[in-house]
Amino acid sequence: MDFNGKTVAITGASRGIGADAARQFAAAGANLALLARSAEALDDLAAEIGGNVLVAACDVSDHAAVTEALGKAHQRFGSLDVLINNAGVIEPIARLEDADPAAWAKLIDINLTGVFNGIRAALPLMKPAGGGTIITVSSGAAHNALEGWSAYCSSKAGAAMLTRALDLEERANGIRAMGLSPGTVATQMQRDIKASGINPVSELNWEDHIPAEWPARALLWMCTADADDHIGQEISLRDEGIRKRVGLI
């Protein structure tokens, strides 16, 4: 997969799926715009992978900051070809009657409004060039309620609908909109879930989770023509057929 000359922006790039996706796209030759709240972690990752990397320490819930970051990437590299909406948080994990309203709203701001902010900032940069790919990292939680996860499930369900709305409105303008549901992934989020002790996901063993490299490789594949039959859809890495097409089996 050759991404030489292509510019890929990744939110939540400082760790987990985002960081592994950055490594995958860098190895494929892409120019990278890495967005996350931790400037130090982004700088460390950029130093590790080398190549053409722009880092932007920002909160995806801040529309102006996301717009500025993507604009700088477009100005520096001359294009914005791919946006990976990956940034997301799991807290607050709490039953509805106990959830802190401010924390609940902040999760929605990051997991849902943050996806909108990325889309809204990317479209004016992609469309004049004939289009681009926008992928949002989804979750099985978008389709199934789980105890203590009202905020997370609601945000992921909303983000899945945003992907469908984006496809409806912009497919004819060259925008390839897709979602990726990776399953449970061995990242810090799963450690936080384990510590909560709430709902069956917290009972899973560490070895039950897939490595972050798997969804990272899937994201790379989704940006190629081989995935065109899934435009407008949500892809699940629990699907053995998808794993085969990605090259994970």
Kindly report, residue by residue over 43-77, the tens digit of the pLDDT.
999 999 988 999 999 999 999 999 999 999 999 99
Query: DSSP H helical segments within 109-235, as ranges?
Result: 114-126, 150-170, 188-196, 213-222
| Residue 241 resides in a domain | yes
What is the domain-level CATH number for residue 175? 3.40.50.720
Q: What percent of the chain has pLDDT over 70?
A: 100
| Residue 205 resides in a domain | no
Q: Residue 34 is which amino acid?
A: L
- Averaged pLDDT for residues 1-21: 94
| Residue 132 resides in a domain | yes
Instruction: Please give the pLDDT value at position 233.
Output: 96
Instruction: Please give the pLDDT value at position 105.
Output: 98
**Does the pLDDT of residue 1 top 80, yes or no?**
no
Q: Look at the chain and report how many structural domains it folds into.
A: 1
Instruction: Please give the pLDDT value at position 188.
Output: 84
CA atoms within 13 A of residue 122's CA, in its CB half-sphere: 32
Kindly report, residue by residue over 127-143, the tens digit of the pLDDT.
999 999 999 999 999 99
| Residue 191 resides in a domain | no
| Residue 15 resides in a domain | yes
| Residue 197 resides in a domain | no
Q: Pick the catalytic residue from 104, 152, 214, 221.
A: 152
Q: Is residue 179 among the annotated active site residues?
A: no
Instruction: Please give the pLDDT value at position 146.
Output: 93
- Averaged pLDDT for residues 173-177: 98
Instruction: Give the containing element (helix H, strand E) for 137.
Output: strand 132-137
Range of the domain at 238: 7-183+212-246
| Residue 204 resides in a domain | no
pLDDT tier for residue 208 given thresholds of 50, 70 and 90: confident
Kindly report, residue by residue over 89-117, the tens digit of the pLDDT.
999 999 999 999 999 999 999 999 999 99
Kindly report, residue by residue over 176-192, the tens digit of the pLDDT.
999 999 988 888 888 88
Instruction: Please give the pLDDT value at position 26.
Output: 96
| Residue 17 resides in a domain | yes
Q: Measuring CA to CA, how many Å separate 64 from each of 74, 122, 143, 158?
A: 15, 12, 30, 21
Instruction: Please give the pLDDT value at position 3.
Output: 93
**Does the pLDDT of residue 155 top 80, yes or no?**
yes
Instruction: Please give the pLDDT value at position 48.
Output: 95
CA atoms within 13 A of residue 92's CA, in its CB half-sphere: 13
